[in-house]
Amino acid sequence: MSTVFDKNLPIAIGADHAGFEYKEDVIKMLTADGWQVADKGTYSLDSVDYPDFAHPVAAMVEERRAAAGILICGSGNGVCMTANKHEGIRAALCWTEELASLSRQHNNANILCIPARFVLLDLAERMTEVFLSTPFEGGRHEKRVNKI
């Protein structure tokens, strides 16, 4: 997979219990492609609170200690709302490859949020690939992103 993100930095990833299994598979995919991964949890199917994992992922991206982030929960909404509380974070909730692409092209998103209960695993993996390989178009979109 080609990437527009710096492979010298890890991809920060986190999930709650609903996203745990997808997180584990996405980590395997990323490491097979040569990415370093900063796994911020959760580490089991036990019920947990999504902010406990979304905040550490967002902090790594915010502090430029991660190239990008991936967050996974049941609906994707909780992790997305949490991450977007951080300065400079543009977390995007995506459920199609096209939305993952547009979140990068038009919004320069730096965290992909995946709703595990609403997309199949292969789609989650394809969205991750699209997200990491799609460049920001800049131009008229840059002015809008700067207003965020």
Catalytic (active-site) positions: 73, 106
Amino acid identity of 133? Answer: S
* Cα–Cα distance for residue pair 66/9, rounded to 1 Å: 5
Indicate left, alpha or beta for 64 from its phi (over 0: left) and psi (-120 to 50: alpha): left
Indicate left, alpha or beta for 51 from its phi (over 0: left) and psi (-120 to 50: alpha): alpha
* Cα–Cα distance for residue pair 28/145, rounded to 1 Å: 32
CA distances from 105 to 21, 69, 136 (A): 28, 16, 4
The packing angle between helices 20-32 and 121-133, to 10°, is 50
